[in-house]
Structure 1
Amino acid sequence: MKVLIVSDSHGLEHELQTIAERHEKDVDLSIHCGDSELDPSHPALASYLTVKGNCDFYGDFKDEIVVPVGSRKLFFTHGHLYGIKQSLLNVYYRAAELEADIICFGHSHIAGSELMDGKLLINPGSIRLPRVRRDKTYAILSIDTDNTSVRFYDTDGREIESLANHYQLPSDS
């Protein structure tokens, strides 16, 4: 199973549609981790399950969404309600409450992934205003029975190999 993950597009329309079209045959699910600054009915968001960010003032986005991805459970939120710029513990604990294995969030605009006590945390970065690195990024999560990988891409679709990671999540039995 593959999941396309974007965040912090801050008003971009064409880029969201281009990314969705580029990967429409490759992914099973597309999510937007907030701060789209678009109305939920906007065509650029049609391909994405989207949560509310701190800059989303239009419509009724949910603050968080939990979805099954294969035999795993993915929890995604923007991150501002969990103080992710200070610590990842609050979002980690929320995922534990929800019995989620994978946590996706944005807000900091910093691309990266890490395994934290058996839970995979992914921030796709920002396709508009990246921080720490110049690349405007999004991510694709690939979940296999035993292995999970996270790959990052710039808005032109070029893979950023230095950000790629492979993980072995704990058994889901």
Structure 2
Amino acid sequence: MQIVIVSDTHSQNEILECLEKKYKDAYAYIHCGDLEDDPRFYPNWLIVKGNNDYYGKFREDFRIRVGSHRIYVTHSHRCSYLYREQNLVRLAKEYGCDIVCYGHTHVSKIKQVEDVLLINPGSARLPRDGKSPSYALLEIDGDKVEAKIIYQEDWDF
């Protein structure tokens, strides 16, 4: 099962439609916050509230089950700057999740911490890590979990 993950589009949301077309059979489309638009315009997307989301009703966070895996999704702006990863791992364990998707930092990252896979797709508009805009693709096949960051130079849309 493929899960498309994007974050921090900051009102430049055309990419969402492009991703839906490219991954039309995806199991889920996740936006980790800072959409800066009304989420009702994106009915196929699971969207959490970012620190810049004021247009419409958003969930602060959510959890979804994909096969035997549970995914926790948050923007992470309420997590400590210095201890963000530790806080995310703690929250994931509290919620019984083994995967966390988060945004806010505009820095793409995939990192295993203890038994929790952390995925930050970076920003699809304004990256802060010196890299190009990006999104993430998560593939789950039974117990096998693979995540990768896809940068703008590799986009074919």
TM-score range, shorter-chain basis? Answer: over 0.9
- Which residue in 2 is equivalent to 1:163? none
Shift of 1:156: 6.1
Determine whether 1:63 maps to 2:33. Answer: no
Residues 64, 78 of structure 1: 8 Å contact kept: yes
CA distance in 2: counterparts of 1:100 and 1:109, whole angstroms: 23
Per residue, is there more strand in 1 or in 2?
A: 2
Instruction: Return the offset for 1:155.
Output: 4.0
1:34: which partner in 2? 33
Deviation >3 Å, runs of 4+: 155-159
Alpha-carbon shift at residue 157 of structure 1 (Å): 4.8
Corresponding residue number in structure 1 for 2:82: 86
Give the aligned residue type for 2:34.
Answer: D
The answer on whether the counterparts of 1:105 and 1:123 sit within 8 Å (CA) in structure 2 is yes
Q: What letter matches 1:17 in structure 2?
A: E
Cα distance in 1 for partners of 2:130, 2:87 equals: 25
Q: What is the deviation of 1:47?
A: 2.1
Q: Using the alignment, how far apart are the partners of 2:92 and 2:49 within structure 1?
A: 17
Counterpart-to-counterpart distance in 2, 1:14 and 1:143: 26
Question: What is the aligned partner in structure 2 of residue 126 from structure 1?
Answer: 123
Equivalent position amino acid for 2:27 in 1 = D
TM-score by length of 1: 0.84
Give RMSD over aligned pairs: 1.5
Structure 1, 51-60 or 10-19: larger mean CA deviation: 10-19
Q: Distance in 1 between matches of 2:33 and 2:11?
A: 11
Do the aligned partners of 1:113 and 1:120 also contact (CA within 8 Å) in 2?
yes
Deviations along 1:75-96, whole A, 9 cap, x unmatched? 000010122x322111211111
Pairing of 1:104-115 with structure 2 (within 5 A): 104-115=101-112
Q: Distance in 2 between matches of 1:71 and 1:133?
A: 35
**Deviation string, structure 1 residues 33-67 (Cα, Å, up to 9, x no partner):** 0000011212xx22210000000012110110000
Task: Please name the residue that 2:46 is paired with.
Answer: 49
Question: 2:143 and 2:92 mapped to 1: Cα distance?
Answer: 21
Change (3 A) 1:157 1:46: farther
